[in-house]
Structure 1
Amino acid sequence: MLWTKTCREANGYAGSARGLDKDQKTLVDTSWFQFLVKQLRAGANTFQQEYVYEWYEMEFFMYVLSSGASVAFCIDTPPAFQNGLLEALNSGRNDPPKDAMAFLQCAVVAEVSRLYDVSVWTLRDKVRELEKIRSAARYLESGLDFPRLHDLARHIIHTCEVLSVAADTVNTLLVDHRSSSGKACECAGASGHSPNPNCPHTEMRFWLGLLQNFGRRAKSLNERLSHEITLGFNLVVQRDTRATMEISSAARSDSASMKTIAVVTLAFLPATFVCTIFSMSFFTLNVDDATGEKHWMMSDRFWIYWVITVPLTVLTLICWWYGQHRGDKQGKAREPSWKSEGP
């Protein structure tokens, strides 16, 4: 069952079974469960490097025989988990529990919880780096990469999911123990209602509470990152708005300068036109040799100037109007239409 596609692609599960003989005595206890941990690589800069992460898809299968022999299969576990589990099992407890299954489950849950702790704190460092760099001058100059920030949010959401499932998995292990044995605890030293300080079930409940707290911290990180993304977007909009206002102010200043130039040109244009007309060869100043008087003389072919100038002016205006009209039509043709795009 553990090798089926459903179990391999699940985000966590837990189950148990008990084999009985004909006298209803226990022959073998079995338990199987899975934990997923998403671990980001620590030390990568939030703005300059890609997020590198790794999934720990850990599966466990345990069985305990009535003779006391027990076996635990730990599949696809990282080196940190392996070293920690071996150290915990070799720590040498003075009073080993009677329930070997609970002892093994508790040892595994403890090491898995430490992996979750590292995973959450790595995410916390990423979010805190964003919060600390916010006041730096290069915060906006570096160019906020919103897709990467949303990618970090995706990692946090995944962590929230697997932490919630991990807490449910541990709770299932505790419930399965009670439902199969019929007793709250069978550990050595427990009699009646008297508590056992070395009870693995008590320790598992501690790790269960810690996993739930890790989940709350991950949710808090998700909210903090969401606020940072919103703030960053608002700061970028504020910066762009300020730049737009500065451009608008500069444009108004340029417009005032162009207006001044246009007024000065308009003031000199009539005089320039008149000067140009009278400086043409159609007008001459003749001096009477007999009397010495000066007379303005206009050529009888002055009409040639108007015959050429007026049609040429009209043709220029027509060409300008045609160019403007054609440009407007091409601009409208390039604009996408909501009718052509569909709903």
Structure 2
Amino acid sequence: MSIVNIIEDLNPWDKKLHGLFQRQSTEKLTLIFTTRENLDKNSRLRNELFQRYSVPEYIWAKVCLRLQGYFGAEDIFSEDGSTVESHVTWFHFEIKYPFRLPKNKDRAVAEHQPPTPAQKDGKKPAGYAWYKMGVVTSWKAPDQHTIIFFDAEDSPAVGVRNELKCNCENVKVEPALRNPYWAHQFLLGPILACYDEAVWNLRDHVKALEQGRREGKHTVTNSLDSNDRDLNESSTTFNALHEILRHALHKTEILGVAIQTLNSICARKKIFEEERYSAETVAKEETVQNMVITKRCARKIAVYLDFQLSIVRSLEARARANEARIRSEITLAFSTVAQLDSRVQAEIGHAARADSYTMVKIAAVTMLFLPPSFIAAIFSTTFFEFTPPEGEKVSKDFWVFWAVSIPLTIIVFVGLYPGNRGLSVRKHISSAAHHKATTVGPTVASPAAPAANMV
């Protein structure tokens, strides 16, 4: 009897699943690789597949397809309801990949790393992509397993598919096959490797920003001047910072969902084993020796699942660190821009002060010529007659112009000169008016109050 049967039904015209449905499976392990597109186009094939392996139809509903992760399980009992004939689990993972930097020489490209998309129609790629991975496992007592892997054609699922095939091609008959969660240890490892690549890709982007800041390559955090070119580069850098922060937030979110999914798998495995290995079930189906071996295998699987759960938690810690680092870069960038803006405002203040000094000089010159011009305009009217006698060029009354203009100019300079004295006079007048408004305004003057206070 064959131990492993691998079916890759990635193209609708291959019809490899139809051949599987026409016979009764006798293999200990059956791997089915298909795509959502294939099953969407052929609803009859999907219904037959789900019915054969007791897969619930609602996992194909829109609400499940939109989720970033979930897990479910169901026991299929015999007709009399006394024993469990099969156990079905279904779970889903979704990964966001920020594509690696063009000159990333720190690490070798792993098999789970998706290729960076090429430029199409003159448009740059988005720089990231979402990938879904849906899996259904069906265990039929006592030791027959079927794994259905959706989205097997998309990258990085291709790397998961290849590693899964490699791990399962050498499967041997062993007591661990009697546990329905035996297959999960082979499934979760390659999937978590995809999460690892995605997290470290994001770390490379954060590291590149930090290194660029230290080397003085980022205008936001290193420029000393402010011109149009600096503003444009600053805007680009800020967009990059917030884009990476968005990736970091998504990364933390999907890793949190992955942890919940793994916790659900471990919890459901524990519930199944408590029911499966109860005293009543053991008395009916198992010998003492077989039960000891079966429980030992179950503990081994549980230890491995806990180890994978610890890996995801460590990746979540790394994702949170990436998020904190990029937030720190954004805070530093804003602080630097604020400092540059303060310098610019200070320079503008100095320039405005210099301009005010110039305006004071212009005002002084204007005030110097204003009274004589005013007097000259008055004396030029027909209300006065200053006609000199014949033979004289200047009127004897010309002294009147100077006698009026000079004192009037002095009065204007004394009253309106914008120096310290003028400012002090204006401050004194304004403070006196404010003092009177606060002391007199809120109260009602008494009839006996002096007239001087009744202002």
Indicate if the aligned counterparts of 2:160 and 2:191 stay in contact, CA closer than 8 A: no
Question: Given the superposition, is the C-alpha separation of residues 60 and 212 from structure 1 closer, same or farther in structure 2, using an over 3 Å criterion?
Answer: same
Structure 2 residue aligned with 1:176, among 233, 249, 268?
268
Correspondence for 2:136: 61
One-letter amino acid matched to 1:220:
A
2:190 corresponds in structure 1 to 111
Shift of the alpha carbon at 1:284? 7.0
How far apart are residue 94 of structure 1 and its match? 7.3
Partners of 2:243 and 2:318 lie apart in 1 by 19
Distance 1:106 1:58 in 2: 16
Instruction: Report the AA paired with residue 87 of structure 2.
Output: D
Tell me the alpha carbon deviations over residues 283-304 of structure 1, each in whole angstroms, 9 at most, x when there is no partner: 777664xxxx666389xxxxxx
- What does residue 65 of structure 2 align with? 8
**Kept after mapping to 1: 8 A contact 2:131/2:156:** no
Aligned partner (choices 74, 81, 96) of residue 17 of structure 1: 74
**2:219 alignment partner in structure 1:** 139
Q: Which amino acid aligns with 1:159?
A: K
Residue of structure 1 equivalent to 2:395: 296
The equivalences for 1:1-343 within 5 A come to: 1-21=58-78, 22=80, 24-43=82-101, 51-66=126-141, 68-77=143-152, 78-91=154-167, 93=170, 97-100=174-177, 101-135=180-214, 136=216, 138-140=218-220, 141=230, 142-144=233-235, 146=238, 149-182=241-274, 191=292, 199-268=300-369, 288=391, 296=395
Deviation at 1:51, TM superposition (A): 4.6
Residues 1:170 and 1:18: Cα distance change in structure 2 (over 3 Å): same
Higher relative contact order (CA 8 A, sep 6+): 1
Q: Displacement, 1:113? A: 0.3
Alignment partners' CA distance in 2, 1:215 and 1:6:
25
Flag the 1:125–1:84 CA change in 2: closer, same or farther, 3 A: same
5+ residue gaps in structure 2? 1-57, 104-123, 221-229, 279-285, 398-455
Quote the RMSD (CA, aligned, Å). Answer: 3.9
* Cα distance in structure 2, aligned partners of 1:138 and 1:30: 53
Q: Secondary structure of the residue that 1:103 maps to in structure 2?
A: coil
- Per the alignment, do residues 149 and 189 of structure 1 end up closer, same or farther by CA in structure 2, a change over 3 Å counting? farther
Letter of the structure 1 residue corresponding to residue 159 of structure 2: N
Amino acid aligned to 2:258: A
- What is the TM-score when the length of structure 2 is the normalising length? 0.54
Contact 2:176 2:297 in 1 (8 A): no
Check conservation: 1:12, 1:36, Cα contact below 8 A. Answer: yes
Cα separation, partners in 2 of 1:7 and 1:194, compared to 1, 3 Å: closer
Of all paired residues, the percent bearing the same amino acid is 27
| Change beyond 3 A, Cα 1:50–1:235 | farther
Contact kept in structure 1, 2:137 and 2:145, CA below 8 Å: yes
Corresponding pairs, count: 289
- The amino acid of 2:368's aligned partner reads A
Partners of 1:4 and 1:294 lie apart in 2 by 111
TM-score (ref. length: structure 1): 0.69
